[in-house]
Structure 1
Amino acid sequence: MKPVVDIVEKLLLAGVNVTVYNGQLDLIVDTFGQEMWVNKLKWPGLSVFSSLRWKPMYGSSSLRDIAAFYKQYQNFAFYWVLKAGHM
């Protein structure tokens, strides 16, 4: 596969909304690997984005069923989807 970090950087700098999502059980592209390339972005908002805590997303009206975690800052969002594999 061809790296797309430079394309993502250009999109972010142009103000385009960028969303990255990853399945918790993905054995092909794991979350740690995704976070590694995200942390290499040359984007002015990266330091704030990196300092954010993961927020839970609930799969139902119950606050017990966490379906995912996410971080979002300006036009960049990252979702870590629980109980999901390669998407």
Structure 2
Amino acid sequence: MPSLEHHYAGDKKWKSYSDFYAEDYLDDNAHLLSEKLEGHLDLAVVIYGKRGIKESLWWIEREVPALEGIKPVDCLKDPELLKRLRECVMRMS
């Protein structure tokens, strides 16, 4: 079964998605979370919007089955893993 990065909706879709979350969640909590995400404010607003700040700070440091056991923070430096993380976050309910 292909990894999530092979199903990535694309940068344009991601930007639209993260901009939507930024309308309501771009605040001090998002900036705090983005520090933990190496400055990825786009990811921070979406994760924060879906999980709240407390759970977001916890979740980014956990091995996530949907990421094939990789921690979200460990996806940030590899372009393919970043796509995997973005697709995972877009699919979160």
TM-score normalised by length of structure 1: 0.30
Rg comparison, structure with higher value: 1
Tell me which protein shows more strand as a share of its residues. 1
TM-score normalised by length of structure 2: 0.29
